[in-house]
Structure 1
Amino acid sequence: MRVGLTGGIASGKSTVAGILAGLGAVVIDADQLARDVVARGTPGLARVVELFGPEVLTPEGDLDRPTVGRIVFGDEAQRKALEAIVHPLVFERYAALEEGAPAGALVVHDIPLLAESGRAEGFDAVLVVDVPVETQVERMLRDRGMTREDAEARIAAQATREQRRAVATHVIENTGTLAELRARVEQVHAELASR
């Protein structure tokens, strides 16, 4: 079964992915793949440098993610240009990893921008981890050291809560305790595994 997993920044989607992996699901992480396809020495990184210039590299030759973030999260055209490079490379890797999953496995595609990509209908189920926007902002200020302005810009660059919920077959609220979140994820996993 192919399952899409998404949620806004700082919603707890990575925690949910970890719980699902612990329950035996095969989790394919789009964020990790997005890092892999622009790692030092890759054609993806060369294309990003061609687009934005050498100032997006660290002295060691790696992608300077905070610098790229400042460029793209305030400029939709720049963000779309970056996505046009990264997304096709990520989707190629996804397909290869999915083909390698064991028969009958619950394959969870952890995709932060699933609602934005228009690919939600390609999954048997879509799990959306949901929290209020103010909770996202509070978590980014507390856990990631962002300014309120940076946090709000990142949220504004993503789909709205309503847009994400509109593609969901299952909504996983993440405003309670970790134990409550785990219980909800276990419930959804059991339902999907029984299909």
Structure 2
Amino acid sequence: MRGRTLPRPGRLGLTGGIGSGKSTVSAWLAAQGAHLVDTDAISRELTQAGGGAIEPLRRAFGDQAIGPDGALDRQKMRELVFGDPDAKRRLEALLHPLIGQEAARRAAQATPGQMVVFDVPLLVESRLWRTRVDQVLVVDCTPERQVARVMQRSGLSDEAVRAIMAQQAPRSLRLAAADVVISNDKDTLAPLHEALAALWAQWHPV
């Protein structure tokens, strides 16, 4: 664990690159009693069949953006935004406000005094999110570790994983934005859990 000794945040921003183990960390924090707001889950709900983003997406990108099941065709949209920076900006301008509104609604459901953890994959890329949290916790590992993990769990090629990583903020920018860094570069979860336990104890001294 790296970072300054800081008091317990009321609103914690959690982020990390693909394959870093961010979801493992968010689940651990939730198990300790934090109120988790998962913006990836919100995005999936908004873009499923009947979700609040479907008709705006259809208007912005046409019927090709919507699959036969009525949900966002993620593969087609991924191909579109990878090759067209303007399409990526339009997609983000459409989705991010909707995600932000729902995240704020869910955060308001926390009990008084409960830490709210905002799990935000693109926190560093979004200036808005940095203003909404008290501290930023970055889950970090080497790019090689990211590639290996994502390839193992998804079956994607090395090239495909690196293409996804290239769309995210560089590791250096994530680390520069962090108040606290948790390393998750080992083959087992034990060191990660130990670092998290030490951080939680720092936030909740006896």
TM-score tier, shorter chain, comes to over 0.9
Counterpart in 2 of 1:79?
Answer: 88
The alignment covers a number of residue pairs equal to 195
Matching residue within 182, 190, 194 for 1:172: 182
User: TM (normalized to structure 2)?
Assistant: 0.88
In the other structure, the counterpart of 1:125 is 135
**Residue of structure 2 aligned with 1:147, choices 150, 157, 173:** 157
Give the residue type in structure 1 aligned to 2:146: Q
Structure 1 equivalent of residue 120 of structure 2: 111
Query: 1:147–1:53: structure 2 CA closer, same or farther, 3 Å change rule?
Result: farther
Gaps of 5+ in 2: 1-9
Deviates more, 1:160-169 or 1:33-42: 33-42
SS for the counterpart of 1:128 is strand
The 5 Å alignment of 1:1-195 reads: 1-118=10-127, 119-176=129-186, 177-194=188-205
Q: Which moved more, 1:51-60 or 1:31-40?
A: 51-60
**Partner secondary structure for residue 196 of structure 2:** helix
Please say which of residues 150-159 and 113-122 is displaced more in the overlay: 113-122
1:21-79 CA distances to partner (integer Å, 9 max, x unpaired)? 11111110010011112221234111112222222222221112222222213332211
RMSD value, Cα: 1.6
Paired AA for residue 188 in structure 1: L
Distance 2:197 2:168 in 1: 27
For 1:187, give the aligned amino acid: A
SS, match of residue 136 in structure 2: strand
The CA distance in 1 between the partners of 2:29 and 2:103, in whole Å, is: 18
* Bigger shift: residues 1-10 or 47-56: 47-56
- The alpha-carbon deviation at position 156 of structure 1 amounts to 0.8
Gaps of 5+ in 1: none
TM-score (norm 1): 0.93
Instruction: Give the aligned residue type for 1:163.
Output: L
Could you tell me how far apart the structure 2 residues matched to 1:89 and 1:190 are?
35
Bigger drift between 141-150 and 77-86 goes to 141-150
1:100-128 CA distance string (max 9 Å, x none): 11000011000000000013243222110
Contact 1:3 1:123 in 2 (8 A): yes
Q: Is the 8 A contact 2:48 2:70 kept in 1?
A: no
Query: 1:127 aligns to what SS in structure 2?
Result: strand
Q: Of Structure 1 and Structure 2, which has the larger fraction of its residues in helix?
A: 1
